[in-house]
């Protein structure tokens, strides 16, 4: 074999080796980065040594990145030099452009795209087999990699006035978008709960409270017979008690304590009832639900009276109301839907003016404006800027609203025509596809 043939064979072997080196580092780094950290922790805790090594490599992401960059670029530089020398020796300067194009195609195809695609498909086998060697190389190359990865970061920190140059943490909106786009990785029901949890700070007590006019309470100034009748027929566990006016609140009665009193004696008086009252818990109307959840936990309360800036009682909120914002309604069909929203055969809905806008959006997948008025009556009055008459129709975004009944200064009921294509209540697109 001639010397030129030997030189060419050595050059080809060297090129293949350098290309394989670049491909190996690309595949191993991709495999290590693509593995889930929680899954690795479970495997490592179960005794998988390779998983433990890969987890430590992930924790030293900066060192792993520096190691991969160093060897990949070294291989590509040496490969470029060898191909350039071979081109000049056998083909001349006129072929340099073609050799550069060939090197680029080989490096992109066999040094990056193919190994990365393979590592994404088979991350665990690739990472398991390479973990030990990567740890050794990371230790051996530390004197070279550490300065190369440290000084650029320090220079950037000085340029940015000392601010960190690490990855930007996800804000609330980005995290919400990530949860919604999780797809099949997270069941639809779990996604709704996670989004509800993230929304706690964006929703105030005013959005979910029972309005003052709907509060079921006991007026202690009324006849004793009427008080006893209310106590024996009340459907609630905790009942606010007041004197003539709800603002003159006396306390909250837990009917379980009243049942104990009844077991001790069939005869009881108003003084016995007032002795069972506990001091009510008050919250401001603008408190967000996350803060209120913490307040309920710290005060060990399940019910609170909502007050405005003047101290007047505006409504009532319970722990159950708050938890429903996270886990959804405790009943199959929302309670308000049967009382305030009545589906019609033509696809429209007859809605009471007192219906809560946010609850309708959550239950029926609507997108009526939630900034501002909380009820349909308030929404209509704000949109029209006057008191409408029965028969008035108007468009609000994609929704057509027809006033059915109006009395005094309020809208009693209206018919809402939602846009076509909305799914039935409590059915997501994913559930429809699955046939749930």
pLDDT exceeds cutoff 50 at 328: yes
Mean pLDDT, residues 413-424 taken together: 77
pLDDT at 350 over 90: yes
Residues 6+ apart with CB under 8 A from 59: none
Q: What is residue 330's predicted lDDT score, i.e. its pLDDT?
A: 57
- Mean pLDDT over 272-280 rounds to 90
Cα distance from N-terminal residue to C-terminal residue, the chain: 73
Return mean pLDDT, the chain. 82
What integer pLDDT is reported at residue 79 of this predicted model? 85
b/e 387-407 (16+ beta carbons within 10 angstroms → b): ebeeebeeeeeeeebbbbebe
The answer to whether residues 242 and 217 touch, using CB atoms and an 8 Å cutoff, is yes
The β-bridge partners of 241 are: 218, 251
The C-alpha atoms of residue 21 and residue 111 are separated, in whole angstroms, by: 8
**Residue 243, token pair as written in the block:** 């004197």
299 contacts 289 by C-beta, under 8 angstroms: no
* Cβ 358 vs Cβ 370: under 8 Å: yes
Q: How far is CA 107 from its chain centroid?
A: 40
Greater model confidence, 436 or 69: 69
User: How confident is residue 277, by pLDDT bands cut at 50, 70 and 90?
Assistant: very high
Name the more confident of 354 and 264: 354
Q: Which of 338, 365, 367, 362 is nearest to 352 (CA)?
A: 338
Complete domains list, the chain, with CATH:
3-159 (no CATH), 203-327 (3.10.580.10), 335-434 (3.30.465.10)
Q: For 378-405, what is the mean pLDDT?
A: 90
Q: What is the largest CA-CA distance in the chain?
A: 120
Structure token digits, residue 339: 């009382």
Mean pLDDT of 163-191: 67
- Render pLDDT for 139-172 as a digit per residue (tens, 0 to 9): 888 887 777 777 777 777 777 665 554 555 666 6
Beta strands in 66-189 (DSSP E): none
131-140 average pLDDT score: 89
Q: How far is CA 329 from CA 303, 325, 334, in A?
A: 18, 8, 6
pLDDT value of residue 288: 87
Structure tokens at 376: 């349909």
């Amino acid at each position: 074999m001639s010397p030129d043939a030997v030189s060419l064979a050595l050059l080809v072997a060297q090129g293949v080796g350098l290309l394989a080196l670049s491909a190996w580092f690309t595949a191993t780094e991709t495999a290590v980065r693509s593995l889930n950290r929680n899954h690795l922790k479970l495997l490592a805790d179960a005794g998988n040594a390779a998983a433990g090594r890969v987890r430590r490599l992930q924790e030293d992401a900066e060192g792993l990145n520096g190691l991969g960059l160093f060897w990949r670029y070294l291989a590509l530089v040496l490969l470029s030099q060898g191909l350039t020398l071979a081109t000049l020796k056998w083909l001349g300067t006129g072929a340099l452009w073609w050799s550069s194009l060939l090197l680029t195609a080989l490096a992109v195809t066999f040094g990056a795209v193919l190994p990365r695609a393979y590592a994404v498909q088979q991350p665990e086998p690739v990472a398991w087999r390479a973990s030990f060697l990567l740890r050794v190389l990371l230790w051996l190359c530390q004197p070279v990699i550490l300065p190369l990865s440290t000084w650029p970061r320090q220079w950037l920190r000085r340029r940015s006035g000392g601010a960190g140059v690490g990855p930007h943490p996800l804000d609330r909106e980005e995290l919400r978008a990530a949860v919604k786009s999780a797809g099949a990785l997270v069941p639809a029901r779990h996604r709704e709960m996670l989004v509800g949890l993230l929304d706690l700070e964006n929703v105030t007590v005013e959005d979910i409270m029972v309005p003052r006019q709907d509060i079921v309470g006991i007026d202690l100034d009324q006849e004793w017979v009427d008080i006893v009748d209310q106590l024996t027929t009340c459907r609630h566990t905790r009942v606010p008690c007041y004197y003539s006016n709800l603002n003159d609140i006396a306390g909250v009665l837990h009917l379980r304590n009243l049942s104990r009193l009844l077991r001790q004696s069939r005869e009881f008086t108003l003084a016995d009832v007032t002795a069972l009252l506990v001091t009510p818990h008050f919250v401001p109307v603008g408190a967000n639900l996350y803060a209120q959840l913490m307040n309920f936990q710290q005060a060990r309360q399940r019910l609170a009276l909502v007050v405005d800036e003047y101290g007047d009682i505006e409504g009532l909120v319970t722990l159950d109301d708050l938890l429903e914002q996270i886990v959804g309604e405790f009943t199959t069909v929302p309670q308000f839907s049967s009382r305030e929203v009545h589906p019609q055969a033509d696809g429209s809905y007859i809605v009471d003016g007192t219906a809560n806008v946010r609850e309708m959006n959550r239950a029926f997948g609507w997108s009526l404006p939630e900034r501002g008025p909380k009820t349909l009556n308030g929404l209509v009055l704000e949109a029209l800027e006057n008191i409408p008459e029965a028969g008035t129709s108007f468009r609000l975004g994609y929704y057509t609203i027809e006033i059915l009944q109006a009395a005094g200064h309020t809208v009693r009921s209206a018919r809402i025509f939602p846009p076509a294509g909305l799914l039935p209540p409590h059915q997501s697109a994913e559930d429809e596809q699955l046939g749930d």
